[in-house]
Protein backbone atom coordinates (compact mmCIF):
# COMPACT_ATOMS: atom_id res chain seq x y z
CA UNK A 1 0.00 0.00 0.00
CA UNK A 2 1.03 3.62 -0.47
CA UNK A 3 2.42 5.44 2.59
CA UNK A 4 -0.66 6.46 4.60
CA UNK A 5 0.95 8.44 7.40
CA UNK A 6 1.77 11.32 5.06
CA UNK A 7 -1.13 10.96 2.63
CA UNK A 8 -3.93 11.45 5.15
CA UNK A 9 -2.76 14.98 5.94
CA UNK A 10 -4.17 16.29 2.65
CA UNK A 11 -7.72 16.87 1.63
CA UNK A 12 -8.36 14.97 -1.59
CA UNK A 13 -9.65 17.05 -4.55
CA UNK A 14 -12.31 15.64 -6.90
CA UNK A 15 -10.71 13.46 -9.58
CA UNK A 16 -11.42 11.32 -12.63
CA UNK A 17 -9.58 9.85 -15.60
CA UNK A 18 -10.52 10.99 -19.09
CA UNK A 19 -9.34 11.36 -22.69
CA UNK A 20 -8.15 14.87 -23.48
CA UNK A 21 -10.43 17.49 -25.05
CA UNK A 22 -8.61 19.27 -27.86
CA UNK A 23 -9.85 22.80 -27.19
CA UNK A 24 -11.22 24.45 -24.04
CA UNK A 25 -15.04 24.28 -23.92
CA UNK A 26 -16.84 27.42 -25.06
CA UNK A 27 -19.71 27.06 -22.58
CA UNK A 28 -19.10 25.86 -19.06
CA UNK A 29 -21.50 26.07 -16.14
CA UNK A 30 -19.99 28.49 -13.59
CA UNK A 31 -18.58 26.72 -10.55
CA UNK A 32 -18.67 28.41 -7.14
CA UNK A 33 -15.16 29.22 -5.88
CA UNK A 34 -13.79 26.53 -3.56
CA UNK A 35 -10.11 27.42 -3.16
CA UNK A 36 -9.48 29.72 -0.22
CA UNK A 37 -5.75 29.13 0.32
CA UNK A 38 -2.84 27.75 -1.71
CA UNK A 39 -2.65 24.28 -0.13
CA UNK A 40 -0.53 21.98 -2.31
CA UNK A 41 -1.34 23.91 -5.52
CA UNK A 42 1.79 25.23 -7.23
CA UNK A 43 -0.41 27.54 -9.34
CA UNK A 44 -1.91 29.15 -6.24
CA UNK A 45 1.41 29.45 -4.43
CA UNK A 46 2.91 31.13 -7.48
CA UNK A 47 0.09 33.64 -7.76
CA UNK A 48 0.10 34.64 -4.10
CA UNK A 49 3.90 34.88 -4.04
CA UNK A 50 3.68 37.87 -6.42
CA UNK A 51 2.94 40.01 -3.39
CA UNK A 52 6.35 39.23 -1.88
CA UNK A 53 8.17 41.29 -4.53
CA UNK A 54 5.48 43.72 -5.67
CA UNK A 55 2.75 44.42 -3.10
CA UNK A 56 -0.56 44.91 -4.88
CA UNK A 57 0.48 43.15 -8.13
CA UNK A 58 -1.97 40.28 -7.76
CA UNK A 59 -4.85 42.74 -7.39
CA UNK A 60 -3.63 44.71 -10.41
CA UNK A 61 -3.71 41.52 -12.49
CA UNK A 62 -7.24 40.69 -11.37
CA UNK A 63 -8.38 44.25 -12.07
CA UNK A 64 -6.95 44.34 -15.60
CA UNK A 65 -8.51 40.96 -16.39
CA UNK A 66 -11.91 42.07 -15.06
CA UNK A 67 -11.87 39.52 -12.26
CA UNK A 68 -12.85 39.85 -8.60
CA UNK A 69 -10.82 37.07 -6.97
CA UNK A 70 -8.10 34.49 -7.42
CA UNK A 71 -10.82 31.82 -7.56
CA UNK A 72 -12.12 33.38 -10.78
CA UNK A 73 -8.60 33.60 -12.19
CA UNK A 74 -8.07 29.92 -11.34
CA UNK A 75 -11.37 29.00 -12.95
CA UNK A 76 -10.31 30.62 -16.24
CA UNK A 77 -6.90 28.95 -16.44
CA UNK A 78 -8.70 25.68 -15.66
CA UNK A 79 -10.80 26.23 -18.78
CA UNK A 80 -13.99 27.50 -17.16
CA UNK A 81 -16.07 30.68 -17.31
CA UNK A 82 -15.85 33.09 -14.32
CA UNK A 83 -18.88 34.46 -12.53
CA UNK A 84 -18.10 38.13 -13.21
CA UNK A 85 -17.62 40.14 -16.39
CA UNK A 86 -14.36 38.61 -17.58
CA UNK A 87 -13.72 39.20 -21.26
CA UNK A 88 -12.60 41.79 -23.80
CA UNK A 89 -14.46 43.68 -26.48
CA UNK A 90 -11.75 43.28 -29.11
CA UNK A 91 -8.20 41.90 -29.57
CA UNK A 92 -6.73 45.37 -29.10
CA UNK A 93 -8.29 45.69 -25.64
CA UNK A 94 -7.15 42.18 -24.70
CA UNK A 95 -3.51 42.80 -25.61
CA UNK A 96 -3.51 46.20 -23.93
CA UNK A 97 -4.95 44.91 -20.67
CA UNK A 98 -2.59 41.96 -20.62
CA UNK A 99 0.36 44.29 -21.14
CA UNK A 100 -0.97 46.50 -18.35
CA UNK A 101 -0.48 43.62 -15.90
CA UNK A 102 3.30 44.05 -16.38
CA UNK A 103 3.22 47.77 -15.56
CA UNK A 104 5.13 48.44 -12.37
CA UNK A 105 8.48 50.08 -11.76
CA UNK A 106 11.25 47.47 -11.92
CA UNK A 107 13.37 49.57 -9.54
CA UNK A 108 11.06 50.88 -6.80
CA UNK A 109 8.14 48.45 -7.46
CA UNK A 110 5.61 51.28 -7.70
CA UNK A 111 2.27 50.42 -9.33
CA UNK A 112 0.31 52.90 -11.50
CA UNK A 113 -2.08 53.54 -8.60
CA UNK A 114 0.82 54.66 -6.39
CA UNK A 115 2.20 57.29 -8.77
CA UNK A 116 1.54 61.02 -8.64
CA UNK A 117 -0.26 62.71 -11.53
CA UNK A 118 3.07 63.99 -12.88
CA UNK A 119 4.54 60.47 -13.28
CA UNK A 120 3.78 57.73 -15.77
CA UNK A 121 5.29 54.29 -16.24
CA UNK A 122 7.34 53.95 -19.44
CA UNK A 123 8.99 50.82 -20.79
CA UNK A 124 12.67 50.35 -21.61
CA UNK A 125 13.00 51.27 -25.30
CA UNK A 126 15.50 48.47 -25.93
CA UNK A 127 13.56 45.46 -24.62
CA UNK A 128 10.02 46.90 -24.30
CA UNK A 129 9.62 44.53 -21.38
CA UNK A 130 10.30 46.37 -18.10
CA UNK A 131 8.82 49.64 -16.87
CA UNK A 132 10.12 52.59 -14.85
CA UNK A 133 8.35 55.44 -13.10
CA UNK A 134 11.04 57.93 -14.12
CA UNK A 135 14.60 58.49 -15.38
CA UNK A 136 16.04 58.25 -11.87
CA UNK A 137 14.77 54.70 -11.33
CA UNK A 138 15.83 53.66 -14.83
CA UNK A 139 19.38 54.97 -14.36
CA UNK A 140 19.66 53.30 -10.95
CA UNK A 141 18.43 50.00 -12.34
CA UNK A 142 20.57 49.98 -15.50
CA UNK A 143 23.59 48.11 -14.00
CA UNK A 144 21.23 45.22 -13.22
CA UNK A 145 18.94 45.50 -16.22
CA UNK A 146 21.69 45.67 -18.85
CA UNK A 147 22.68 42.06 -18.11
CA UNK A 148 19.27 40.77 -19.19
CA UNK A 149 17.94 43.51 -21.49
CA UNK A 150 18.64 41.66 -24.76
CA UNK A 151 17.18 38.41 -23.47
CA UNK A 152 14.06 40.20 -22.19
CA UNK A 153 13.57 41.63 -25.68
CA UNK A 154 13.03 38.04 -26.85
CA UNK A 155 10.58 37.49 -23.99
CA UNK A 156 8.50 40.49 -25.09
CA UNK A 157 8.23 39.16 -28.66
CA UNK A 158 7.50 35.58 -27.60
CA UNK A 159 4.76 36.73 -25.21
CA UNK A 160 2.83 38.13 -28.17
CA UNK A 161 3.68 35.45 -30.71
CA UNK A 162 2.42 32.78 -28.32
CA UNK A 163 -1.08 33.95 -29.16
CA UNK A 164 -0.72 32.17 -32.52
CA UNK A 165 -0.42 28.88 -30.65
CA UNK A 166 -3.54 29.65 -28.62
CA UNK A 167 -5.59 30.39 -31.75
CA UNK A 168 -4.18 27.43 -33.68
CA UNK A 169 -2.66 29.62 -36.39
CA UNK A 170 0.78 28.16 -35.73
CA UNK A 171 0.66 24.41 -36.37
CA UNK A 172 3.90 22.62 -35.64
CA UNK A 173 5.62 20.57 -38.38
CA UNK A 174 4.88 16.89 -37.95
CA UNK A 175 5.56 13.52 -39.53
CA UNK A 176 7.90 10.52 -39.34
CA UNK A 177 11.52 11.20 -38.53
CA UNK A 178 13.84 10.63 -41.50
CA UNK A 179 16.61 9.75 -39.04
CA UNK A 180 16.91 7.25 -36.18
CA UNK A 181 16.19 8.59 -32.69
CA UNK A 182 19.77 7.85 -31.64
CA UNK A 183 20.98 10.44 -34.17
CA UNK A 184 18.65 13.20 -32.94
CA UNK A 185 20.61 14.27 -29.89
CA UNK A 186 19.66 17.97 -29.60
CA UNK A 187 17.60 20.77 -31.11
CA UNK A 188 20.32 21.38 -33.71
CA UNK A 189 19.90 17.89 -35.12
CA UNK A 190 16.11 18.10 -34.79
CA UNK A 191 15.98 21.37 -36.77
CA UNK A 192 18.36 19.96 -39.36
CA UNK A 193 16.25 16.81 -39.69
CA UNK A 194 13.04 18.80 -40.28
CA UNK A 195 14.85 21.04 -42.78
CA UNK A 196 12.69 22.14 -45.70
CA UNK A 197 9.45 21.17 -43.94
CA UNK A 198 10.26 23.52 -41.07
CA UNK A 199 11.18 26.36 -43.43
CA UNK A 200 7.88 25.96 -45.28
CA UNK A 201 5.88 25.90 -42.04
CA UNK A 202 7.53 29.02 -40.64
CA UNK A 203 7.25 30.83 -43.96
CA UNK A 204 3.51 30.14 -44.11
CA UNK A 205 2.98 31.53 -40.61
CA UNK A 206 5.07 34.64 -41.28
CA UNK A 207 2.99 35.41 -44.38
CA UNK A 208 -0.37 34.62 -42.80
CA UNK A 209 -3.27 36.98 -42.17
CA UNK A 210 -3.15 35.96 -38.50
CA UNK A 211 0.39 37.33 -38.18
CA UNK A 212 -0.66 40.66 -39.72
CA UNK A 213 -3.71 40.86 -37.45
CA UNK A 214 -1.59 40.12 -34.37
CA UNK A 215 0.82 43.00 -34.87
CA UNK A 216 -1.95 45.37 -35.90
CA UNK A 217 -3.81 44.54 -32.68
CA UNK A 218 -0.83 45.14 -30.37
CA UNK A 219 -0.21 48.54 -31.93
CA UNK A 220 3.55 48.33 -32.15
CA UNK A 221 5.98 48.02 -35.07
CA UNK A 222 6.21 44.55 -36.53
CA UNK A 223 9.72 43.09 -36.06
CA UNK A 224 11.75 41.78 -38.98
CA UNK A 225 11.22 38.30 -40.41
CA UNK A 226 14.39 36.97 -38.79
CA UNK A 227 13.16 38.07 -35.34
CA UNK A 228 9.72 36.54 -35.88
CA UNK A 229 11.15 33.31 -37.27
CA UNK A 230 13.43 33.02 -34.23
CA UNK A 231 10.42 33.48 -31.96
CA UNK A 232 8.45 30.76 -33.75
CA UNK A 233 11.35 28.35 -33.35
CA UNK A 234 11.57 29.10 -29.63
CA UNK A 235 7.83 28.54 -29.22
CA UNK A 236 8.13 25.27 -31.12
CA UNK A 237 10.80 24.02 -28.73
CA UNK A 238 8.65 25.07 -25.76
CA UNK A 239 5.78 22.87 -26.95
CA UNK A 240 7.90 19.88 -27.96
CA UNK A 241 10.28 20.00 -24.99
CA UNK A 242 7.88 17.97 -22.84
CA UNK A 243 7.26 15.00 -25.20
CA UNK A 244 10.91 14.85 -26.27
CA UNK A 245 12.08 14.98 -22.64
CA UNK A 246 9.62 12.21 -21.88
CA UNK A 247 11.13 10.24 -24.77
CA UNK A 248 14.59 10.92 -23.38
CA UNK A 249 13.54 9.22 -20.14
CA UNK A 250 12.09 6.21 -21.98
CA UNK A 251 15.37 5.74 -23.84
CA UNK A 252 17.62 6.32 -20.80
CA UNK A 253 15.77 3.72 -18.70
CA UNK A 254 15.61 1.26 -21.59
CA UNK A 255 11.81 1.01 -21.49
CA UNK A 256 10.49 -1.60 -23.94
CA UNK A 257 7.99 0.36 -26.04
CA UNK A 258 7.29 -2.73 -28.13
CA UNK A 259 5.72 -4.74 -25.35
CA UNK A 260 2.19 -6.07 -25.75
CA UNK A 261 -0.48 -3.65 -24.55
CA UNK A 262 1.67 -0.55 -25.01
CA UNK A 263 3.46 1.68 -22.52
CA UNK A 264 2.08 3.88 -19.74
CA UNK A 265 3.62 7.18 -18.61
CA UNK A 266 2.38 9.16 -15.61
CA UNK A 267 3.04 12.91 -15.67
CA UNK A 268 2.84 13.67 -11.96
CA UNK A 269 2.23 17.15 -10.55
CA UNK A 270 0.67 18.26 -13.84
CA UNK A 271 -0.92 21.72 -13.89
CA UNK A 272 -2.68 23.98 -16.40
CA UNK A 273 0.71 24.44 -18.10
CA UNK A 274 0.69 20.83 -19.30
CA UNK A 275 -3.07 20.56 -19.88
CA UNK A 276 -4.91 23.81 -20.65
CA UNK A 277 -3.87 24.27 -24.30
CA UNK A 278 -2.30 20.88 -24.99
CA UNK A 279 -3.57 19.21 -28.16
CA UNK A 280 -3.25 15.50 -29.03
CA UNK A 281 -0.79 16.27 -31.83
CA UNK A 282 1.64 17.87 -29.37
CA UNK A 283 2.75 14.39 -28.28
CA UNK A 284 2.94 12.86 -31.76
CA UNK A 285 6.72 13.30 -31.60
CA UNK A 286 6.75 10.28 -29.28
CA UNK A 287 5.44 8.14 -32.13
CA UNK A 288 8.09 9.48 -34.50
CA UNK A 289 10.80 9.04 -31.87
CA UNK A 290 9.80 5.38 -31.36
CA UNK A 291 8.58 4.01 -34.70
CA UNK A 292 6.90 0.64 -34.28
CA UNK A 293 5.77 1.28 -30.70
CA UNK A 294 2.61 -0.47 -29.55
CA UNK A 295 0.93 2.59 -28.04
CA UNK A 296 1.56 5.21 -25.37
CA UNK A 297 -0.88 6.19 -22.65
CA UNK A 298 0.22 9.49 -21.10
CA UNK A 299 -1.79 10.36 -17.98
CA UNK A 300 -1.56 13.88 -16.52
CA UNK A 301 -2.05 13.76 -12.75
CA UNK A 302 -2.20 16.82 -10.47
CA UNK A 303 -4.42 19.11 -8.43
CA UNK A 304 -4.07 21.87 -11.06
CA UNK A 305 -5.06 19.85 -14.14
CA UNK A 306 -7.33 21.98 -16.36
CA UNK A 307 -11.04 21.24 -16.02
CA UNK A 308 -11.49 20.48 -19.71
CA UNK A 309 -8.94 17.72 -19.32
CA UNK A 310 -10.93 15.87 -16.65
CA UNK A 311 -14.29 14.64 -17.89
CA UNK A 312 -15.60 11.40 -16.35
CA UNK A 313 -14.98 9.05 -19.27
CA UNK A 314 -13.04 5.80 -19.14
CA UNK A 315 -9.71 5.64 -20.97
CA UNK A 316 -9.87 3.80 -24.29
CA UNK A 317 -7.73 0.70 -25.05
CA UNK A 318 -4.34 1.52 -26.51
CA UNK A 319 -3.82 1.04 -30.23
CA UNK A 320 -0.37 0.38 -31.73
CA UNK A 321 1.32 3.51 -33.06
CA UNK A 322 -0.97 5.96 -31.21
CA UNK A 323 -0.54 8.32 -28.26
CA UNK A 324 -3.49 8.60 -25.89
CA UNK A 325 -3.68 11.52 -23.47
CA UNK A 326 -5.85 11.51 -20.37
CA UNK A 327 -5.87 13.02 -16.91
CA UNK A 328 -6.66 12.62 -13.25
CA UNK A 329 -7.29 15.59 -11.00
CA UNK A 330 -5.84 14.88 -7.59
CA UNK A 331 -2.72 13.92 -5.66
CA UNK A 332 -0.58 11.15 -7.10
CA UNK A 333 -0.44 8.93 -4.02
CA UNK A 334 -4.26 8.96 -3.89
CA UNK A 335 -4.40 8.20 -7.63
CA UNK A 336 -2.03 5.28 -7.08
CA UNK A 337 -4.23 3.69 -4.43
CA UNK A 338 -7.54 4.36 -6.19
CA UNK A 339 -6.57 3.62 -9.80
CA UNK A 340 -3.27 1.71 -10.01
CA UNK A 341 -3.51 -0.66 -7.05
CA UNK A 342 -7.08 -1.57 -7.99
CA UNK A 343 -5.99 -2.44 -11.53
CA UNK A 344 -8.10 0.22 -13.26
CA UNK A 345 -4.98 1.90 -14.66
CA UNK A 346 -1.82 0.11 -15.78
CA UNK A 347 1.32 0.25 -13.65
CA UNK A 348 3.54 3.04 -15.05
CA UNK A 349 6.59 2.21 -17.13
CA UNK A 350 7.86 5.73 -16.41
CA UNK A 351 6.86 8.64 -14.18
CA UNK A 352 7.76 12.19 -15.21
CA UNK A 353 7.47 15.40 -13.19
CA UNK A 354 7.92 18.68 -15.07
CA UNK A 355 9.13 21.28 -12.57
CA UNK A 356 7.68 19.72 -9.40
CA UNK A 357 9.00 22.62 -7.30
CA UNK A 358 9.20 20.64 -4.05
CA UNK A 359 12.48 22.42 -3.23
CA UNK A 360 10.81 25.84 -3.15
CA UNK A 361 8.22 25.59 -0.38
CA UNK A 362 7.54 23.54 2.79
CA UNK A 363 3.89 23.24 1.69
CA UNK A 364 4.87 21.73 -1.65
CA UNK A 365 7.45 19.47 -0.04
CA UNK A 366 4.82 18.18 2.37
CA UNK A 367 2.49 17.44 -0.55
CA UNK A 368 5.24 15.78 -2.59
CA UNK A 369 6.81 13.68 0.18
CA UNK A 370 4.40 10.71 0.03
CA UNK A 371 4.73 10.63 -3.77
CA UNK A 372 8.53 10.67 -3.64
CA UNK A 373 8.52 7.89 -1.07
CA UNK A 374 6.08 5.88 -3.17
CA UNK A 375 8.22 6.26 -6.31
CA UNK A 376 11.29 5.24 -4.34
CA UNK A 377 9.83 2.25 -2.54
CA UNK A 378 8.08 0.81 -5.59
CA UNK A 379 11.22 1.29 -7.70
CA UNK A 380 9.47 3.21 -10.46
CA UNK A 381 11.74 4.75 -13.15
CA UNK A 382 11.30 8.49 -12.65
CA UNK A 383 12.48 11.65 -14.40
CA UNK A 384 11.96 15.20 -13.11
CA UNK A 385 13.00 18.53 -14.61
CA UNK A 386 14.03 21.85 -13.06
CA UNK A 387 14.56 25.39 -14.34
CA UNK A 388 18.07 26.18 -13.18
CA UNK A 389 21.34 24.84 -11.82
CA UNK A 390 20.41 26.23 -8.39
CA UNK A 391 17.14 24.27 -8.42
CA UNK A 392 19.04 21.21 -9.63
CA UNK A 393 21.40 21.33 -6.65
CA UNK A 394 18.56 21.87 -4.15
CA UNK A 395 16.43 19.06 -5.62
CA UNK A 396 19.36 16.63 -5.70
CA UNK A 397 20.03 17.28 -2.02
CA UNK A 398 16.41 16.55 -1.09
CA UNK A 399 16.44 13.30 -3.05
CA UNK A 400 19.74 12.25 -1.49
CA UNK A 401 18.34 12.96 1.99
CA UNK A 402 15.43 10.63 1.14
CA UNK A 403 17.86 7.83 0.22
CA UNK A 404 16.69 7.88 -3.39
CA UNK A 405 19.03 6.30 -5.94
CA UNK A 406 19.86 9.00 -8.51
CA UNK A 407 20.86 7.28 -11.75
CA UNK A 408 21.63 10.37 -13.86
CA UNK A 409 21.29 14.15 -13.96
CA UNK A 410 22.46 17.02 -16.13
CA UNK A 411 21.59 19.56 -18.82
CA UNK A 412 18.58 18.56 -20.92
CA UNK A 413 19.37 18.48 -24.67
CA UNK A 414 15.68 19.20 -25.33
CA UNK A 415 15.22 22.13 -22.97
CA UNK A 416 12.85 24.84 -24.17
CA UNK A 417 14.73 27.66 -25.90
CA UNK A 418 12.06 30.19 -24.90
CA UNK A 419 13.29 32.39 -22.02
CA UNK A 420 10.92 32.65 -19.07
CA UNK A 421 10.78 35.95 -17.18
CA UNK A 422 10.08 36.02 -13.46
CA UNK A 423 6.80 37.96 -13.38
CA UNK A 424 7.32 39.97 -10.21
CA UNK A 425 11.11 40.26 -10.51
CA UNK A 426 11.60 41.20 -14.18
CA UNK A 427 15.38 41.76 -14.02
CA UNK A 428 16.10 38.35 -12.57
CA UNK A 429 17.99 36.15 -15.03
CA UNK A 430 15.40 34.39 -17.25
CA UNK A 431 15.13 30.62 -16.97
CA UNK A 432 14.22 27.88 -19.44
CA UNK A 433 11.64 25.12 -19.05
CA UNK A 434 13.10 21.63 -18.55
CA UNK A 435 16.63 23.04 -18.50
CA UNK A 436 17.97 20.19 -16.33
CA UNK A 437 16.81 16.67 -15.61
CA UNK A 438 17.19 14.21 -12.74
CA UNK A 439 16.55 10.48 -13.17
CA UNK A 440 16.15 8.12 -10.24
CA UNK A 441 15.14 4.55 -9.54
CA UNK A 442 14.53 2.96 -6.16
CA UNK A 443 16.53 3.44 -2.98
CA UNK A 444 20.22 4.14 -2.64
CA UNK A 445 20.21 1.82 0.37
CA UNK A 446 19.57 -1.16 -1.94
CA UNK A 447 17.24 -2.88 0.54
CA UNK A 448 16.27 -6.46 -0.17
CA UNK A 449 12.59 -7.29 -0.67
CA UNK A 450 12.01 -8.40 2.93
CA UNK A 451 13.54 -5.21 4.36
CA UNK A 452 11.57 -3.08 1.88
CA UNK A 453 8.27 -4.74 2.81
CA UNK A 454 8.93 -4.11 6.52
CA UNK A 455 9.87 -0.46 5.84
CA UNK A 456 6.65 0.11 3.88
CA UNK A 457 4.45 -1.74 6.41
CA UNK A 458 5.91 0.36 9.23
CA UNK A 459 4.66 3.52 7.51
CA UNK A 460 1.16 2.18 6.81
75 or 452: which leads in pLDDT: 75
Mean pLDDT lowest among 16-25, 101-110, 177-186 = 16-25
Q: What local confidence, expressed as pLDDT, does residue 315 receive?
A: 57
Mean pLDDT lowest among 162-171, 232-241, 377-386, 439-448 = 439-448
CA gap 444, 418 in Å, rounded: 35
What are the two backbone dihedrals, phi and then psi, of residue 442, each rounded to the nearest 5 degrees?
70, -160
CA gap 187, 200 in Å, rounded: 18
CA gap 388, 129 in Å, rounded: 22
Mean pLDDT lowest among 2-6, 116-120, 220-224, 384-388 = 2-6
Tell me how far CA of residue 10 lies from CA of 202, 329, 399, 434, 460, in angstroms: 47, 14, 22, 28, 16
Segment 178-193 shows an average pLDDT of 93
Mean pLDDT lowest among 144-158, 232-246, 327-341 = 327-341
Q: What local confidence, expressed as pLDDT, does residue 448 receive?
A: 52
Which of 365, 410, 259, 415 has its CA nearest to residue 42? 365
Crossing angle for the helix pair 91-100 and 209-217, to the nearest 10 degrees: 50
In degrees, rounded to 5, the angle at the alpha carbon of residue 422 between the alpha carbons of residues 421 and 424 is 130
Tell me the range of 10-24, 118-132, 395-409 where mean pLDDT is highest: 395-409
What are the two backbone dihedrals, phi and then psi, of residue 207, each rounded to the nearest 5 degrees?
-95, 10
Q: What local confidence, expressed as pLDDT, does residue 18 receive?
A: 31
Q: What local confidence, expressed as pLDDT, does residue 63 receive?
A: 81
Residue 3 has pLDDT above 60, yes or no: no
Mean pLDDT lowest among 31-45, 203-217, 295-309 = 31-45
CA gap 420, 385 in Å, rounded: 15
Mean pLDDT lowest among 24-38, 114-128, 274-288, 445-459 = 24-38
- Residue 79: which pLDDT band, with cuts at 50, 70 and 90? low
Segment 442-451 shows an average pLDDT of 67
Cβ(355)–Cβ(433) below 8 Å: yes
Q: What is the 3 state secondary structure string of 117-136?
A: CCCCCEECCCCCCCEECCHH
Please spell the DSSP secondary structure of 143-160, one letter per residue.
HHHTTTHHHHHHHHHHHH
Which of 8, 76, 11 has its CA nearest to residue 38? 11
Segment 28-51 shows an average pLDDT of 52
CA gap 3, 374 in Å, rounded: 7
Q: What local confidence, expressed as pLDDT, does residue 87 receive?
A: 64
Segment 228-246 shows an average pLDDT of 96
- Residue 58: which pLDDT band, with cuts at 50, 70 and 90? confident
Of the chain, the percentage scoring pLDDT greater than 70 comes to: 82
| DSSP letter assigned to residue 415 | -
Query: What pTM did the predictor assign?
Result: 0.82
CA gap 315, 19 in Å, rounded: 6
Q: Chain-wide mean pLDDT for the chain?
A: 83
Per-residue buried b or exposed e for 70-98, using 16+ beta carbons within 10 Å of the residue's own CB? bbbbbbbbbbbbbbeebeeeeeeebbeeb
Mean pLDDT lowest among 26-35, 345-354, 411-420 = 26-35
User: What digits encode the pLDDT tens for the residues 379-436?
Assistant: 999 999 999 999 999 999 999 999 999 999 999 999 999 999 988 889 999 999 999 9
Mean pLDDT lowest among 43-57, 166-180, 413-427 = 43-57
Residue 311 has pLDDT above 60, yes or no: no
Name 439's Cβ contacts closer than 8 Å, sequence gap at least 6: 249, 252, 253, 381, 382, 383, 406, 407, 408, 409
Q: What local confidence, expressed as pLDDT, does residue 148 receive?
A: 96
- Residue 19: which pLDDT band, with cuts at 50, 70 and 90? very low
| DSSP letter assigned to residue 1 | -
How do the domains of the chain map onto residue ranges? Answer: 37-149
166 or 267: which leads in pLDDT: 267
CA gap 350, 298 in Å, rounded: 10
Amino acid sequence: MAPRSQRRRHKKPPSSVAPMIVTPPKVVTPVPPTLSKPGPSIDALGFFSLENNVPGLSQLILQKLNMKSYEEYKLVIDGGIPLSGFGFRCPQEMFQRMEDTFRFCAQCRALPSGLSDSKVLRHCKRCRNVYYCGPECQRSDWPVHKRVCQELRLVAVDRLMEWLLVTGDFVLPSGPWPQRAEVVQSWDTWFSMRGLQLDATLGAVLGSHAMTTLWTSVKRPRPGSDVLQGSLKRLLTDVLSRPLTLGLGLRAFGIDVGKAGGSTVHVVGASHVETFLTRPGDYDELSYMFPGHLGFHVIMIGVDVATGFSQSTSALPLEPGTVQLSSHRGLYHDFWEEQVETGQIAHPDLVVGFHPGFHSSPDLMEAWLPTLLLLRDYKIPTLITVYSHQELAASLQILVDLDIDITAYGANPFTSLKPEQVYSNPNKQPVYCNAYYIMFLGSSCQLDERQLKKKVDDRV
